[in-house]
Chains A and B, each alone.
Chain A
Amino acid sequence: MSDIAISTPQAQMTRTHSAVGSLRIVQTACILVIALVIVSPLFMLLIASLKDDRFQILADMGSFRAFWVSDPTFANFAEVGNFSGELAFGRYLLNSLIILALTVGSGLIVNSMAGFVLAWGSVRGRALILSLVIALYVIPQESIIMPLVIMVSRAGMTDTFAVQIVPWIASPLYIFLFYQFFAQLPKELVEAAQIDGASIFRIYRSIFLPLSLPALATVSILMGIESWNQYLWPILVTQTDYARPIAVAIATFFGQDSIYWDRAMAASVLMMLPILALYLAFQRWFVSSFVGSAVKG
């Protein structure tokens, strides 16, 4: 009797185990295939950038040799990473980095301040302002771009760094994102700080900013990608190399008659690296269980 009673659940357990096991295998296989599909072009790009002969690159495409390099060289990188010469992308890369750093840096401050004040400041017509912010978000960037171009050219701002930074600092999406993040923090935190003698700015700086690392990281990544990939706007407002970003430079490069595939690949790899670094640096803050301990007993 007791034997049966014991063996039955065990048998069930084994069956469930093996069912779970085969499901796991199928899942893993699917994920592998998807990952392969996504990663292989990137891998191909990386391999090609390490090959010296641009005709060989073209010939290798479409065969497995596209995924293999026998004598890797960094010559392409040395050439495109330069600041002078026909194919020097170093300058554009630097331009893009400057634009990204200043946009994200000021964007974090401006948008988080706006979100904080909307969430905790004594603002008249808060609901109206919030719905305006959301309404602004619905308007696509492209639809206001022509009037904006006219505005900045009248203001004599074309072909500068500022024109590529200032218009994109304040963003309804990020204001709203910060607003939501701040609004869900407990009211007692603000009140305790008020009683401790903190001004509203001090509460923002010493309490809310340190607690909003996940939001700051998320906004940094999103804003960074957005800034890095800006294409239409810089085409319209830059005429010379002075402030031209790399996305635009690479595109014009591909429009030329003879394409140096080897260097184009190296330039593309270079363009990917900073944004990848940004992501890796901030992704660990994406999920944070930090704030829960503020109030829970």
Chain B
Amino acid sequence: MASVTIEQVRKQYGAVPVIQDVSIDIDDGEFVTLVGPSGCGKSTLLRMLAGLEDISGGEIRIGGRVVNDIAPKERDIAMVFQSYALYPHMTVAENMGFALKLKGQDKAAIQNRVKEAADILALGPLLDRLPRQLSGGQRQRVAMGRAIVRHPQVFLFDEPLSNLDAKLRVTMRAEIKDLHQRLKTTTVYVTHDQIEAMTMADRIVVMRGGVVEQIGRPLDLYDRPVNTFVATFIGSPAMNLFNGSIVDGRFVTDDGKALPLPPGYSGGAARTYGIRPEHLAIAESGIPVTVGVVEPTGAETHLVVKLGALDTTLVIRDRVDVRPGQSVAIAPDLAKIHLFSAQGARLN
């Protein structure tokens, strides 16, 4: 196990910068997820950690050792690919033991380690099968088995669950997290699924366009996003954002609807007003809106209402009796309001 330090790392393909001055400190044993929209450079950063891509600038240290110019096999890392990349002609046991065989370990030692990993992942009955004789979820587990037999310093995962169906994804999510709690190996996990990031990570790194937007614990990111990008990226349904400006102690949207400000807020520069769907409630008196869509999910009800011309989402814990077209009043929880500048940076 080891800490990982990424310092001012840059990557460019030709003249095109793909990663720009990224710095992340990962503690020994920590589980960090990298999230961001497609093409933001998550895989590239992970592959630089693995040694599969050159580093254009900056420094990467694993366990205090600078690894910029060290080959993948010498970095003591293991990687699980989105496509699993199992060796098709080797059995499950051979797939898992391949790295140990290359290290020159003897047969009995390899067998022990493979068996140990197979026990952890419940792969025992499958050891003699070929990858093509396995289901998607089993292949995924074998890919993890191949990583854990080596007892590496760091696990790297690149969207390991995205080829699985939704139900299996949830199961495997829990399984990976459980595995991490048992093995306590430092883990960097790439995903574009913010729920995966929220539920699994000790800390989340949100990236966009090759730069880090925010690093923090899941709930900190949720409660205090540093900018509008993180605010809308984390959380589902996404945070409601309204553009406008502050007039006479109230926030007035561009089409003239007035929204209340948090008590005691005095900054005048706010240009965007954010409120999460679950922090809006139907109230006796408040902002008048028209109900558009009603989506009962059982546990909660999602409402899409028209606030002026803007679609606004509410998540209500209780069952509500409203119909599309009906006029109601809504009110935000004043303590949960987010205010952002014209550049999108958090103000409160």
Residues of A near B139 (CB, < 8 A) are 297
Fill in one digit per residue for A194-217: 1 if any B CB lies within 8 Å of its CB, else 0.
111110001000110011000000
Is B124's CB within 8 Å of the partner chain A?
no
Nearest chain A CB to B153 CB, angstrom units: 13
Question: Known contacts A186-B85, A294-B86, A294-B88; is A194 also within 8 Å of B136 by CB?
Answer: no
Pairwise interchain contact A202-B88, C-beta atoms closer than 8 A: no
Bound form: Cα–Cα A261–B81 in Å = 66
| Least CB distance, B218 to chain A, in whole angstroms | 28
Question: Among residues 138 to 164 in chain A, which have CB atoms less than 8 Å away from a CB atom of chain B?
Answer: none
Cβ of A43 under 8 Å from chain B: no
When C-beta atoms are compared, the residue in chain B nearest to A197 turns out to be B73
Which B residues lie within 8 Å of A295 (CB)? 83-85
Q: 1/0 per residue B332-346: CB within 8 Å of A?
A: 000000000000000
B164 to chain A, nearest CB (A): 7
B141 to chain A minimum Cβ distance, whole angstroms, is 13
Residue interface mask B136-165, A partner, CB < 8 A = 1: 100100000010001000000000000110
Interface residues of A in 241-297 (CB under 8 A from B): 290-297
B229 within 8 A of A: no
CA distance A206 to B139 in the complex (A): 20
- Asked if B89 is an interface residue, CB under 8 A from chain A, the answer is yes
B132 closest partner in A (C-beta): A293
- Decide yes or no: A195 and B88 within 8 Å by CB, A188-B83, A293-B130, A295-B83 being known contacts: no
A60 within 8 Å of B by Cβ? no
B102 A197 Cβ-Cβ under 8 A:
yes
Q: Is the CB of A207 within 8 A of B83?
A: no
Give the size of the chain A interface in residues (CB under 8 angstroms).
Answer: 24
Q: A195-B50, A196-B102, A293-B132 are in contact. Are A189 and B87 (CB under 8 A)?
A: yes
A186 interface neighbour in B52, B83, B136, B150, Cβ under 8 Å: B83
Write out, one digit per residue, whether chain B residues 66-101 have a CB within 8 A of any chain A CB (1) or not (0).
000001110001110101111111000000001100
What is the count of residue pairs linking A and B with beta-carbon distances less than 8 angstroms?
A: 80
Is residue B131 contacting chain A, with contact meaning CB distance below 8 A? yes
List CB contacts (< 8 Å) of B154-212 with chain A: 163-164
**CA A196 to CA B86, docked complex, whole Å:** 12
Which residues from B are CB-within-8-Å of A197? 73, 99, 102-103
B132 touches A292 (CB 8 A): yes
Tell whether, in the assembled complex, residue A211 and residue B88 are in contact, meaning their CB atoms are under 8 Å apart. Answer: yes
Least Cβ–Cβ distance between B61 and chain A, in angstroms: 18
Q: How far is the CA of A297 from the CA of B88 in the complex (A)?
A: 13
Other-chain residue from B77, B85, B136, B163 in contact with A192 (beta carbon distance below 8 A): B85
Cβ contact within 8 Å between A290 and B73 = no
B73 with A189: CB separation less than 8 A: no
Contact of B102 with A198 in the complex, beta carbons under 8 Å: yes
A196, B88: Cβ atoms closer than 8 Å? no
**Size class of the contact patch on chain B:** 20 to 34
| Alpha-carbon distance between A186 and B89 when the two chains are bound, in angstroms | 14
State how many angstroms separate the Cβ of B347 from the closest Cβ of chain A.
44
- Neighbouring A residues of B81 by C-beta, 8 Å: 188, 191-192
Query: CB within 8 A of B83: which of A193, A195, A297?
Result: A297
CB distance from A142 to the nearest CB of B (A): 40
Residue of A nearest to B81 (CB): A188
> Which residues of chain B are near A297, meaning CB under 8 Å?
83-84, 136, 139, 163-164
Chain B residues with CB below 8 A from A211, complex form: 88-89
What is the minimal beta-carbon distance from A191 to any residue of chain B, in angstroms?
Answer: 5
Q: Report the nearest A residue to B80, measured CB to CB.
A: A192
Nearest A residue (CB) for B133:
A293
Q: Which residue of A lies closest to B140 (CB)?
A: A297
Complex Cα spacing A295 to B71, Å: 24
Residues of B within 8 A of A206 (CB): 98
Q: Which residues of B contact A195 (CB under 8 A)?
A: 50-52, 72-73, 77-79, 99
Q: Which B residues are in CB contact (< 8 Å) with A293?
A: 88, 130-132
The answer to whether B87 touches A202, judged by C-beta atoms less than 8 angstroms apart, is: no
Could you mark each residue 296-327 of chain B with 1 if its beta carbon is under 8 Å from any beta carbon of chain A, else 0?
A: 00000000000000000000000000000000
Q: How far is the CB of B171 from chain A (nearest CB, A)?
A: 15
- Which A165-191 residues have a C-beta within 8 angstroms of B? 186, 188-189, 191
Contact A191/B52 with A197-B103, A198-B102, A202-B102 known, Cβ cut-off 8 Å: yes
- Contacts A197-B99, A197-B102, A297-B139 given; indicate if A192 touches B132 (C-beta within 8 A): no
CB distance from A1 to the nearest CB of B (A): 43
Shortest Cβ gap from A93 to chain B (Å): 36
Q: Are A210 and B89 in contact, with the CB atoms below 8 A? A: yes
CA distance in complex: A198, B98 (Å): 9
Return chain A residues, CB-CB under 8 Å to B131: 293-294
Q: Which residues of A contact B84 (CB under 8 A)?
A: 295, 297
Instruction: Establish whether residues B98 and A196, one from each chain, have CB atoms under 8 Å apart when the complex forms.
Output: yes
Contacts of B73 in A (CB 8 A): 194-198
Knowing A197-B103, A202-B102, say if A290 contacts B87 (CB, 8 Å).
no
Q: Which of A189, A194, A292, A294 contacts B72 (CB 8 A)?
A: A194
- Inter-chain contact A192/B79, CB cutoff 8 Å: yes
B227 to chain A, nearest CB (A): 34
A-B contact pairs, 24 of them (CB 8 A): A186-B83, A186-B85, A188-B85, A191-B50, A192-B81, A192-B146, A193-B87, A194-B73, A195-B50, A195-B52, A195-B72, A195-B73, A195-B79, A196-B99, A197-B73, A197-B102, A202-B102, A290-B88, A294-B83, A294-B88, A294-B131, A295-B85, A297-B136, A297-B164
A-B contact sample (16 more), CB < 8 A, given A192-B81, A207-B87, A293-B88: A192-B85, A193-B87, A194-B71, A194-B72, A194-B73, A195-B72, A195-B78, A196-B73, A196-B99, A196-B102, A207-B89, A290-B88, A293-B131, A294-B83, A296-B83, A297-B163
What 9 A-B pairs are tightest by C-beta distance, nearest first?
A293-B132, A297-B163, A188-B85, A197-B73, A196-B99, A192-B85, A295-B83, A294-B88, A197-B102
